[in-house]
Amino acid sequence: MLLQSILNCISGMLAADPAPAPPNNPRSPESIASDILNILLTADTPHNIHKLVNEQVSIESWSEAIAFALLHGLESAINSGAQMAKASSDALAQAKDAAIGFAEEHPVYATVIALGILALLLPWTLEILGFGELGPIEGSFAAGWQSRYAGYVPIGSLFSYFQRLGMKWHWSV
């Protein structure tokens, strides 16, 4: 079989078995995420959640678009105070309690994790504040702050430190 496939490839012949046809009615990522979100908010036990989610989407069909749609839906549901089923509200409470317990039991690790998160968010935060790669961004907080120095930014000032970080510690978002 393998040898025949190699010979067919070299000779330019097509394989005898045609490629499987795509599904007739593929569901949109938003539709799949909506169904999964509904399961998460209404299922009564974790086992049911797992079973129902597996029925909605198999491992092969997970995509980044579904994950983003699901994340957006969960964020909206939590922000709106949507009524959650017992399993979901219990999971949320357990996650919160576990995070607080971890921070209380391991303050050094919690601090290291917090500093790591801050290091990841710093370039984004600097850019949002207006400390750009090429200097202060026009109309931003940083530009307003720089105008208070009337053209002279002291060496070693907090502004110069942030601007140096913004110019050197930049990544494309």
Lowest model confidence (mean pLDDT) among 4-18, 29-43, 131-145: 4-18
Whether the predicted pLDDT of 89 surpasses 60: yes
Q: Read off the pLDDT of each residue in 50-60 and give the average, rounded to a whole number.
A: 70
Going by the DSSP 8-state scheme, the letter that residue 155 receives in this structure is T
- The residue extents of the domains of the chain are 28-105, 123-173
Burial class (CB in 10 A: 0-12, 13-18, 19+), 56: middle
Percent of the chain with pLDDT over 90: 3
Each residue of 118-147: pLDDT tens digit? 888 888 888 888 888 888 888 899 888 888
Close Cβ partners of 141 (under 8 Å, ≥ 6 residues apart): 129, 130
